Amino acid sequence: MLFSSTIFLFLFLPFVLLVYHLLPRTFRNGWLLVASLFFYAWGEPRFVLLMLTSILINYLFALAVHAYRTRIGVKWIMFSMIVVNLGLLGWFKYSGFFVTSINETFQTTLFVPEVVLPIGISFFTFQAMSYVIDVYRQAGQVQKNPLNLALYIALFPQLIAGPIVRYETVADEINHRRETLPEFAQGVRRFIIGLSKKLILANGCGQVADTIFNMKDLSMGLAWIGIIAYALQIYFDFSGYSDMAIGLGLMFGFHFLENFNYPYISKSVSEFWRRWHISLGSWFRDYVYIPLGGNRVSPWKQYRNLGIVWILTGLWHGASWTFVAWGVYYGIWIMLEKAFLGKLLARVPVFATVWTLVLVLVGWVFFRAETFPEAITYIQAMFVPDVLWDDRASYQLVQNGVILALSCLAATPIPKRIGERFVESSGKVGQTMQYGYAMVLLFLATSALVASTFNPFIYFRF
């Protein structure tokens, strides 16, 4: 079920909210769990059993870790936990990819399993693993009620595409949260902003990107319009989902951490990844990079650690060599920044922002392209084209220039800062106008929804 669907907006969400706030507090967690399982089962009923199995397995692993923490065998429990979780993720997400790669490399004819990828498996697997690891590190309390753990992992606002929520972030709120009218209203407004990002900006830019990426013999201008459109599409698509998840959490009394912080104004690739998909970056930092030694080891081992993290980051995003290349690409640039480039960029901030943006746009080509040849051909059109500009580029710019310009502006902190200053200077009038503005956005987003076709979130496939 999509957040940006009429069924969710006008049936599922109002009904779940109504029942939730009418129920006594004792029964609210149970109702949220039932609603979350129904939400997930709407699209893929059979995979609810997979998610419940994952929850049960990690519930038992955490209990075992808690009980045997002081014994030598606890490390074998942790090893088993990692193998089981990554085994499930690997089978459903990577089995076909690896067998196909073996067949192509060694000219074999091994059977390629056709496995359907469960939506959100990367997200709920990483959440479950982080919970058990935190129990092992004594960074979080063990949850002895399996229904509470199930609610943490299956909670529908963040189940499908994050943000990846640490158990410690919501541990107290599972049983002791307090819903308030001001936070509920704030949640509604945040949800509407995210919905508008998806339906108005992301889908609008996506139409431009899809059109251009399906063309042949691109001019330089057309190639740049296409990749800028895709960069805006994926940003508003994913940050919009995160906004909706955070807003929904507030409606039910949960406080999720921010997942985006205007990444396209970054002055280095390292900064970009501190601002983009923050929950994933912090997960790899805390559970992979630091355990490998982080920055506490020799420079060459630091580069090794970065290489491992970025290969895994690329694989996490998809079972394709283009995603691996995408991860390696960012890993190399971050290594160079760590070695010397970061200091040079810090001296010229304006150039650093432009430089970083160009590098990110090139990276998105690998992310968007289906194959290496497609990616290389597209990058050639961006930098060494046969034609600089053509009528198709002019057409796209004239037809879609407004939505692209608005999206570029919205990808910066400028609109938010203007709104905050207006509210500060206008008091209650400004606050009232904020919600009036949200209602206008809701009307525009709903109109776009009625007129649009099925358009799922990009990160659903991860």
Q: Which residues are marked as active site?
A: 317
Q: Is 172 exposed, middle or buried (0-12, 13-18, 19+ CB in 10 A)?
A: exposed
3-class SS of residue 184: helix
Tokens linked to 314: 């690329």
* Residue ranges in 252-348 assigned as alpha helix (H): 269-275, 278-284, 299-317, 321-336, 342-347
User: H-helix or E-strand containing 438?
Assistant: helix 428-451
Question: CB 63: neighbour CB atoms within 10 A?
Answer: 17
Q: Is 405 exposed, middle or buried (0-12, 13-18, 19+ CB in 10 A)?
A: exposed
Alpha carbons 86 and 91: distance in angstroms, whole number: 8
Q: How would you label 242-276 residue by residue, b for 16+ Cβ within 10 Å and e otherwise? A: bbbbbbbbbbbbbebeebbebbbbbbbbbbbbebb
* Residue ranges in 160-219 assigned as alpha helix (H): 167-176, 181-196, 203-213
CA angle 48, 50, 56 (to 5 degrees): 100
